[in-house]
């Protein structure tokens, strides 16, 4: 004011254009993972915007919140880990994390998501057995044998087929699926040849749910009931 020689001031606040942004990453562990074993993921959450983010959290889809940070300045980051048990009878395990934070100026929430699928180390296996009849079979009669096929691995097998090579390659047993540790019994038959014994081989094939082929063979020699005789005339 010119008359009294005093100054008059006025303050104005100008808004600054903020660009809040958050980025999260997730990585599989370096160690081999087995079904039913421990899985420990690692990840990073980073402030990739131009304003401080408050109340930063990372939530894992399996176990919930794995990280809370009061604030992250632009360019700053924080690391986290998430541990849980891998599923059994599975080929892989997947996990997802969601990171959130709020703009320090406008309180606007920002989010980012990361997902990863880690392969599990499965050990598929199959075993077939074959047993001869309890008694000797007469040549020309039906020889009925028994057998079993079992899943000796840690993952389900599908499309199981058992083939016998006697008297010619033929399928004696099929099964849609077989769980780990499970056993299925079967029987098969063919006409006994005119011989002292007969040897045949069973071959079992299956494919794991992780698309790995497994095979097994079993052989057995079954005695034939022979009745030697000779006749002479004059």
In tens, the pLDDT along 129-147 reads: 999 999 889 999 999 999 9
Could you tell me the pTM of the whole model?
0.76
**Low-confidence stretches of the chain (pLDDT beneath 70):** 1-16
pLDDT at position 225 is: 87
Tokens 């320090």 — which residue? 104
Residue pair 209/158 in contact (Cβ under 8 Å)? The answer is yes
pLDDT at position 2 is: 52
| Distance, CA of 66 to chain centre | 24
Q: What whole-number distance in Å separates Cα of residue 213 and Cα of residue 66?
A: 39
For residue 161, the tally of other CB atoms under 10 A from its CB is 15
- Can you tell me whether residue 64 is helix, strand or coil? strand
Mean pLDDT of the chain: 92
Tens-digit pLDDT profile for residues 139-177: 999 999 999 999 999 999 999 999 999 888 899 999 999
pLDDT at position 234 is: 83
């Amino acid at each position: 004011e010119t008359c009294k020689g005093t100054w008059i001031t006025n303050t104005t606040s100008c808004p600054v254009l903020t660009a809040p942004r958050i980025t999260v990453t997730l990585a599989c562990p370096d160690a081999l993972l087995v079904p039913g074993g421990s899985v420990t993921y690692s990840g990073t959450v980073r402030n990739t915007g131009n304003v401080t983010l408050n109340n930063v959290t990372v939530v894992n889809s399996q176990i919930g919140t794995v990280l809370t940070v009061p604030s992250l300045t632009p360019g700053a980051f924080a690391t986290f880990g998430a541990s849980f048990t891998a599923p059994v009878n599975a080929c892989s395990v997947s996990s997802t994390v969601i990171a959130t934070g709020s703009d320090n100026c406008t309180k606007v929430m920002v989010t980012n998501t990361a997902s990863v699928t880690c392969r599990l180390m499965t050990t598929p296996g199959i075993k077939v057995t074959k047993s001869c009849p309890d008694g000797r079979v007469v040549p020309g009669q039906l020889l009925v044998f028994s057998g079993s096929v079992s899943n000796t691995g840690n993952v389900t097998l599908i499309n199981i087929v058992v083939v016998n090579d006697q008297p010619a390659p033929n399928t004696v047993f099929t099964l849609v699926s077989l769980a780990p540790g499970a056993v299925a019994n079967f029987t098969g038959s063919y006409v006994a040849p005119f011989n002292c014994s007969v040897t045949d081989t069973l071959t079992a094939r299956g494919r794991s749910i992780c698309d790995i082929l497994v095979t097994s063979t079993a052989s057995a020699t079954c005695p034939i009931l022979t009745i030697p005789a000779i006749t002479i005339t004059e």
